[in-house]
Structure 1
């Protein structure tokens, strides 16, 4: 009985949403259009081809032709915005401690070999560049390349400094920021609503609920970018081409990113399902796949 009621409510909500969006798709929403479109996104600069979040990785990705760099930010003890994924230094440097407790000039170098988080039994060996760069270094080196900034900790100073830097380098139209945490994403939007913001994980789940209950047309949405994982085991349920995220996003968003995909089968699956772009640790592999299959920007 409960299952039948749930199914009926889901179907009713979906039909209601579909009808409302067909009749008045801009009831509260305008389709989000950004200054750039990203098919090819390099996760941490391409963590399987160069050490993650290094200038060498970013330069290689840009040389390959990536449409967007994805990176992570923390704040050092002397309040420098440094590009690094982990708050703790142990995994990447072998030195115990936290970035927030160390001045930028005293940060240790990366290890000579790092594991690739989203690729099993895969390691990347370092070249000459083993330094954690400052965010301003990235902005200065790649002034025309879109950058996806993941604010890794709930720190008001970090958020403010990133916003100030985006403004200083005239990158409000070339930057998207946020975090899976809704608290951080909300603070980002409040600090600077002109910088496009990502859906946090709770907001992605809320978006799906609104869609299925028929309430989506009545709820204002501040986010401009959907950035979601694609676990293969649940892909057919959550990423159906007729239900779920993509049918929602096709109405309102030009930018739907799927992360982190590292083989041709997943690349193909994501694009077949309607993803705008794919985030990868292998920028060269993704470039070859896109060229080989004639995938163009929408």
Structure 2
């Protein structure tokens, strides 16, 4: 009887302590110093309003007041850091060639019309990369019903972005596990004195680890492996006791997969797993705890007002969107 009482009292004490620290993490952790705080984040510069990852897209987003530019980086054969989502340029330029096989001067221009990845029916490779270990997704259908157009079809250099927007925070997705790419990006960030205006990383654990080792002054994001660990700690009550090096949690809203595919063509088990992933990941208590610890929570990639509202109602710090104008209009009416 005494052993049972001891176990119950110990368990009760753990649960109460965990609940207290979940609500009041400042009792155990000093909040991280936030060098910038962003609500409005333009995904690939705003891929729904201009050609993705172009200077025209970045200028448009900054001109309407975005808080942060999100972009992707690769390395050319002559070791130039370029802004492009894809390593292979078939989708974006029509030329089946890898960026790493060409010098910067040899890169083909973007097509004048590109699909918007996170609109209904279009390919969602980013979500597939992030969630393939937990979501058994079939290949999404590609549809031409949503696209962007533009005259600026040149693949820019990362340093051009830094020079053009010296005061704008930039979120860099290191797209490949390449030591030279990581070193070159770090050197550019240091050269332009942007450690306080940059966050970098990838879904891959090894890439994020290399980023941190290369330059610990640039804040990093949670990779997929660490997101899964974060969820495990949250649901076992251990999260309030564990310190983290990461300063940003960037996660998809799983429910948007249902709009990217045709729900009637999905199996019941697929819909259930998407619902389960969404239920486990989209938790206000989790987001509130992290933000109280100075860890910003960004949800991607949301393009509808009801998605924006849900993310902010759940306590997300910011939202990544392909439509910066639409998000700006929403935030104008959404209370801080």
State TM-score, norm by structure 1: 0.89
SS at match of 1:226: strand
- Cα distance in structure 1, aligned partners of 2:309 and 2:87: 34
1:231 aligns with 2:272: no
Q: Give the drift of 1:220.
A: 3.1
- Cα distance in structure 1, aligned partners of 2:81 and 2:219: 19
1:259 aligns with 2:300: yes
SS at match of 1:87: coil
Q: Give the drift of 1:202.
A: 0.9
Residues 14 and 185 from structure 1, CA distance in 2 versus in 1: closer, same or farther, beyond 3 angstroms?
farther
CA RMSD of aligned residues (A): 2.0
Q: Give the drift of 1:24.
A: 6.7
CA contact (8 A) 1:17 1:212 kept: no
CA contact (8 A) 2:231 2:281 kept: no
CA contact (8 A) 2:252 2:300 kept: yes
CA contact (8 A) 2:246 2:295 kept: no
- Cα distance in structure 1, aligned partners of 2:146 and 2:18: 44
Residues 106 and 24 from structure 1, CA distance in 2 versus in 1: closer, same or farther, beyond 3 angstroms?
closer
Aligned residue among 183, 187, 203 for 1:160: 183
Structure having the larger proportion of residues in helix: 2
Give the aligned partner of residue 140 of structure 1. Answer: 163
SS at match of 1:46: coil
- Cα distance in structure 1, aligned partners of 2:70 and 2:177: 19
User: Which deviations, in whole Å up to 9, do the C-alpha atoms of 1:26-53 show, x marking residues without a partner?
Assistant: 54x4212311110100000000000000
Residues 34 and 23 from structure 1, CA distance in 2 versus in 1: closer, same or farther, beyond 3 angstroms?
closer
State TM-score, norm by structure 2: 0.79
Over alpha carbons, which structure has the higher Rg? Answer: 2
SS at match of 2:58: helix
Give the aligned partner of residue 222 of structure 1. Answer: 245
| Contiguous gaps of at least 5 residues in structure 2 | 1-10, 121-144, 256-274
CA contact (8 A) 2:251 2:299 kept: yes
- Cα distance in structure 1, aligned partners of 2:33 and 2:160: 28
Give the aligned partner of residue 32 of structure 2. Answer: 32
Residues 15 and 182 from structure 1, CA distance in 2 versus in 1: closer, same or farther, beyond 3 angstroms?
farther
1:185 aligns with 2:205: no
1:172 aligns with 2:215: no
1:241 aligns with 2:284: yes
- Cα distance in structure 1, aligned partners of 2:294 and 2:12: 23
CA contact (8 A) 2:43 2:70 kept: yes
Q: Give the drift of 1:246.
A: 1.2
After TM superposition, list the pairs within 5 Å mapping 1:26-175 onto structure 2.
27=28, 29-120=29-120, 121-126=145-150, 128-175=151-198
User: Which deviations, in whole Å up to 9, do the C-alpha atoms of 1:87-108 show, x marking residues without a partner?
Assistant: 1010000001100000000000
| Contiguous gaps of at least 5 residues in structure 1 | 1-9
SS at match of 2:284: coil
User: Which deviations, in whole Å up to 9, do the C-alpha atoms of 1:47-71 show, x marking residues without a partner?
Assistant: 0000000000000000010000000
Q: Give the drift of 1:255.
A: 1.4
CA contact (8 A) 1:13 1:212 kept: no
Query: How many residues are treated as equivalent by the alignment?
Result: 282
Give the aligned partner of residue 133 of structure 2. Answer: none
SS at match of 1:220: coil
